[in-house]
């Protein structure tokens, strides 16, 4: 370890001994003295600092080993070995391109521990997608690791940056950009609470209660909700819950969005912008065309693939129309690396290479023999100079192709095939034109209740389970009945300030000072048995250099006069937080408090 710390490597070849040692110990789960420290040093001082430079593959593997080792040290399960750790409502997806796969970057791995999911190892941009598409009006919220993980809704992900003046923002295709922010966060905890509300084709995202982005993406909105993490980060998300009235469609349109949100080029050429190699063009009587342009050097067999972010389900299908003009306009469907190359005499398989990053020696011109055709017509029922209809169906590890309503291919797909759908053509030979593309899957068509969502913390629903049994309810209309003294007693322990009744309740202004100044509203009720109390507040604003808060207090009628308190507070250090405590009185008249750690919250409105 001392020799490694004293070294100054410039090439990967100078680090093989320490690499081999940590690799074998972690992969074989062998405990050895100094290994944890050695791996921590390699990750923190080499990988995190990009030393040596231009060594992405090595850094990726070291980050994966560090994540795996740290996860084991925490005593959490690494793989889904039992029903409690399996994920059925969420799908792990990585943005995998020729560059990342050709360089053999690590594979992403996630693990569930109760209502928390942890990303142990990463490939590049790594996501966990909610399995069902969501349209209409809904909201999704969760806690994510501060600075390291973001949530994505309506095709855009957003997260905070450690210096408080910037945000991370991006899309599945374009990864993250660091953007300037005028938000003024008072501070951050280990977790950031993120909430995305989709209403009327607008997505509003809040971080710790501050609205950070109001997005008006082109319609139709991207229907996939996900959490995202970069490969170098070991992060987590917890209590992911989706509510509201979403519509879960049976069919998702994939070719109607003008910026091709959700699509990405496998070879990292441009896409989704005017004049890009892959672009969206309007067309009468359709939702528009996806066009893959030609123009690569003749004879180069220039592979060009546009892939969709969300793989086809284990049982699912893709339908689309493509224009066919032999030698001029052609496009071929792909599942992962497996390209079904359509020719008049049948279907051949072209295996996608990783271009300049490919290590297999397979040439881009590779083509298999014709696939066997027991019932397929010969020649294929393809119509030159016209639009053709193609459907690709997947059933577990089996794929079937239909062309213009007739089956043309029926074949097995390898278990390693991730079923990412793509549109392929040789850009030196043809262009590609596609329209009316849609996806079907075997995803659930109803949103589970939060109590049934596998990554939602069950405790809120458990606490509220008995609310239906509480039949006695007190309600009051402030706008109609004002603030009668028999229901509300207002007062102050110091003069000044106002309490005004309005249609929405009580508006309170409280000047501060020393000692503690408060304006209170008491409800002169005695409540017995089981009960639930809640107060809603809006427009909370505290200024000055001292504490300012709104507090809900319930005093219990026991010998210690216990008080349950929850506060939305701005303290003298300008920290915006939520506090909760339980206090009791002692014989000398003093009180002692036991409290949970405070939680950061910038929300100006909410419920206590």
| Residue found under tokens 């509480």 | 470
pLDDT in tens, 164-190: 889 999 999 998 999 999 998 988 999
The residues facing 492 across adjacent strands are 519
Task: Choose among 321, 317, 323, 301: nearest CA to 425.
Answer: 301
The encoded tokens of residue 233 equal: 């980060």
The encoded tokens of residue 421 equal: 């759908």
- Helix ranges (H only) for 42-193 are 56-73, 98-102
Does the structure show a pLDDT above 90 at 505? no
Residue 40's pLDDT is 95
Burial class (CB in 10 A: 0-12, 13-18, 19+), 97: buried
| Residue found under tokens 């989706």 | 242
The listed range with the strongest mean pLDDT (84-88, 107-111, 534-538) is: 107-111
How many whole angstroms separate alpha carbon 310 and alpha carbon 313? 9
pLDDT in tens, 204-256: 999 999 999 999 998 899 999 999 999 999 999 999 999 999 999 999 999 99
How many whole angstroms separate alpha carbon 329 and alpha carbon 430? 5
Residue 516's pLDDT is 81
Angle (CA) 336-341-345 rounded to 5° is: 155
Higher pLDDT, 404 or 476: 404
Does the structure show a pLDDT above 60 at 83? no
pLDDT in tens, 2-43: 889 999 999 999 999 999 999 999 999 988 889 999 999 999
The encoded tokens of residue 66 equal: 């560090």
- pLDDT confidence tier of residue 379, bands split at 50, 70 and 90: confident
How many whole angstroms separate alpha carbon 149 and alpha carbon 230? 8
Residue 76's pLDDT is 58
- pLDDT confidence tier of residue 80, bands split at 50, 70 and 90: very low
pLDDT in tens, 289-342: 999 999 999 999 999 999 999 999 999 999 999 999 999 999 999 999 999 999
How many whole angstroms separate alpha carbon 73 and alpha carbon 204? 38
The residues facing 401 across adjacent strands are 392, 409
Q: Are 541 and 534 in contact (CB under 8 A)?
A: no
Listed in sequence order, the residues at least 6 apart from 529 whose beta carbon sits closer than 8 Å to its beta carbon are: none
Residue 78's pLDDT is 53
Using the 8-state DSSP alphabet, how is residue 545 labeled?
Answer: S
Residue 209's pLDDT is 94
The encoded tokens of residue 98 equal: 């020729």
How many whole angstroms separate alpha carbon 206 and alpha carbon 368? 51
Q: Are 371 and 409 in contact (CB under 8 A)?
A: yes
Does the structure show a pLDDT above 70 at 374? no
How many whole angstroms separate alpha carbon 598 and alpha carbon 205? 23
The encoded tokens of residue 400 equal: 């079937």
Residue 138's pLDDT is 97
Residue 77's pLDDT is 54
Residue 229's SS3 state is strand
Higher pLDDT, 370 or 481: 370
| Phi, psi of 490, rounded to the nearest 5 degrees | -105, 150
| Phi, psi of 18, rounded to the nearest 5 degrees | -65, -30
C-beta neighbour count of 403 within 10 angstroms:
22
| Residue found under tokens 């397929």 | 376
Does the structure show a pLDDT above 80 at 85? no
CA 401 to chain centre: 32
Residue 81's pLDDT is 41
CA dist 289 → 175, 185, 219, 327 (Å):
24, 43, 15, 20
The encoded tokens of residue 406 equal: 């007739």
- The chain-wide mean pLDDT, for the chain, equals 92
Q: Are 552 and 533 in contact (CB under 8 A)?
A: yes
Residue 486's pLDDT is 85
The encoded tokens of residue 303 equal: 């592979």
| Residue found under tokens 């409502």 | 89
| Residue found under tokens 């010998």 | 559
- pLDDT confidence tier of residue 82, bands split at 50, 70 and 90: very low
- Beta strand pairing status for 156-160 and 210-215? unpaired
- pLDDT confidence tier of residue 494, bands split at 50, 70 and 90: confident
């Amino acid at each position: 370890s001392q020799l490694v710390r004293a070294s100054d490597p410039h090439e990967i070849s100078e680090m093989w001994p320490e690499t081999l040692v940590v690799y074998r110990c972690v992969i074989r789960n062998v405990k050895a003295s100094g290994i944890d420290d050695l791996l921590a040093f390699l990750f923190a001082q080499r990988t995190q600092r990009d030393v040596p430079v231009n060594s992405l593959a090595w850094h990726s593997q070291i980050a994966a080993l560090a994540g795996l080792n740290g996860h084991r040290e925490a005593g959490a399960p690494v793989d889904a070995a039992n029903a409690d750790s399996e994920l059925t409502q969420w799908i792990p997806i990585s943005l995998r391109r020729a560059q990342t796969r050709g360089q053999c970057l690590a594979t992403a791995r996630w693990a569930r521990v109760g209502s928390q999911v942890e990303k142990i190892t990463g490939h590049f941009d790594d996501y966990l997608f909610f399995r069902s598409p969501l349209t209409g009006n809904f909201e999704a919220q969760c806690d994510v690791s501060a600075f390291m993980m973001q949530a994505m809704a309506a095709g855009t992900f957003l997260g905070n940056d450690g210096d408080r003046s910037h945000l991370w923002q991006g899309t599945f295709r374009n990864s993250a950009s660091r953007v300037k922010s005028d938000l003024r966060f008072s501070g951050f905890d280990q977790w950031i609470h993120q909430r995305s509300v989709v209403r009327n084709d607008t997505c509003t995202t809040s971080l710790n209660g501050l609205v950070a982005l109001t997005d008006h993406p082109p319609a139709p909105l991207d229907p996939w909700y996900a959490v995202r993490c970069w490969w170098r980060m070991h992060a987590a998300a917890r209590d992911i819950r989706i509510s509201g009235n979403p519509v879960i469609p049976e069919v998702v349109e994939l070719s109607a969005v003008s910026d091709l949100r959700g699509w990405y080029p496998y070879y990292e050429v441009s896409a989704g912008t005017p004049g890009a190699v892959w672009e969206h063009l309007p067309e009468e009587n359709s939702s528009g065309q996806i066009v893959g342009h030609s123009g690569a050097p003749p004879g180069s067999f220039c592979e060009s693939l546009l892939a969709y972010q969300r793989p086809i389900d284990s049982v699912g299908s893709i339908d689309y129309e493509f224009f066919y003009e032999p030698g001029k306009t052609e496009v071929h469907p792909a599942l992962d690396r497996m390209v079904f190359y359509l020719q008049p005499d049948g279907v051949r398989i072209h295996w996608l290479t990783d271009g300049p990053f490919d290590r297999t020696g397979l040439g881009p011109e590779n083509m298999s023999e014709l696939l066997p055709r027991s019932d397929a017509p010969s020649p294929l029922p393809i119509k030159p100079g016209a639009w053709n209809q193609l459907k690709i169906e997947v059933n577990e590890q089996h794929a079937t192709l239909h062309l213009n309503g007739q089956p043309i291919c029926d074949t097995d797909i390898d278990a390693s095939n991730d079923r990412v759908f793509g549109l392929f053509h040789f850009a030196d030979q043809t262009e590609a034109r596609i329209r009316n593309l849609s996806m079907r899957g075997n995803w659930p068509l109803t949103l589970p209740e939060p109590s049934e969502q596998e990554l939602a913390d069950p405790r809120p629903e458990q606490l509220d389970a008995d609310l239906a049994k509480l039949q006695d309810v007190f309600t009051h209309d402030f706008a109609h009945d004002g603030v009668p003294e028999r229901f509300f007693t207002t007062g102050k322990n110091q003069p000044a300030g106002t309490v005004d009744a309005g249609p929405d309740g009580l508006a309170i202004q409280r000047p501060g000072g020393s000692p503690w100044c408060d304006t209170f509203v008491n409800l002169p009720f005695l409540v017995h048995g089981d009960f639930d109390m809640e107060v809603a507040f809006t427009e909370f604003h505290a200024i000055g250099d001292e504490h300012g808060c709104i507090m809900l207090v319930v005093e219990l009628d026991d010998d210690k006069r216990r008080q349950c308190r929850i506060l939305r507070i701005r303290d003298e250090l300008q920290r915006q937080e939520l506090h909760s405590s339980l206090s009791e009185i002692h014989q000398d008249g003093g009180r002692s408090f036991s409290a949970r750690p405070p939680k950061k919250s910038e929300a100006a409105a909410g419920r206590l």
